[in-house]
């Protein structure tokens, strides 16, 4: 058996509209039309061919958990981007805090409105 890719990753969100504002307006993710009707609210985003991010509006079982300030020291999703400087401008213009990778790589970490850690690596 051989693994051939990552199909999707799922994040829990408390306020779907607030999360959609971040993922769609700040990051520019494209909403997928393939999400079927489910028993909870959510949205899927097409990231690349056969790769998606799923947001599920469900109670967070980790409410109150202390997260590390640096998202690189927390579980996180990593995305490849072609222009880190452009992303930095978007984040700054939206008032989103971020920190650059401490390794010197062209990468940064930020958090979404629900404290999910995200990494962006320039490739």
DSSP 84: H
> Residue range 52-65: average pLDDT?
90
In-domain check, residue 29: yes
Res. 31: pLDDT tops 90: yes
Separation CA 44–CA 56 (nearest Å): 9
In-domain check, residue 1: no
Q: 59-91 pLDDT, tens per residue? A: 888 888 888 888 888 999 999 999 999 999 999
Residue 18: domain span: 8-59+69-122
In-domain check, residue 2: no
Biggest CA-to-CA distance, the chain: 45
In-domain check, residue 38: yes
In-domain check, residue 3: no
| Number of domain units in the chain | 1
CATH of residue 118: 3.10.180.10
Q: 14-24 pLDDT, tens per residue? A: 999 999 999 99
| Contact of 71 with 28, CB cutoff 8 Å | no
Global pTM?
0.92
Res. 107: pLDDT tops 90: yes
Res. 43: pLDDT tops 90: yes
Both tokens of 2, joined, read 């051989």
In-domain check, residue 17: yes
In-domain check, residue 64: no
CB atoms near residue 96 (< 10 Å): 18
Q: What is the pLDDT of residue 62?
A: 82
In-domain check, residue 77: yes
Length of the chain: 123
């Amino acid at each position: 058996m051989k693994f051939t890719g990552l199909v999707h990753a799922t994040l829990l969100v408390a306020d779907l509209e607030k999360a959609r504002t971040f993922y769609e307006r700040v990051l520019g993710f494209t909403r997928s039309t393939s999400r079927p009707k489910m028993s909870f609210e959510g949205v899927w985003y097409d990231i690349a061919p056969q790769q998606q991010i799923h947001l599920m509006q469900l109670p967070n079982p980790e409410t109150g958990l202390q997260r590390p300030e640096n998202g690189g020291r927390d579980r996180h999703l990593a995305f490849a981007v072609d222009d880190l400087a452009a992303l930095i401008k978007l984040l700054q213009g939206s008032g989103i805090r971020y920190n650059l990778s401490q390794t010197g790589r062209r990468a940064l970490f930020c958090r979404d409105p629900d404290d999910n850690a995200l990494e962006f690596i320039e490739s």
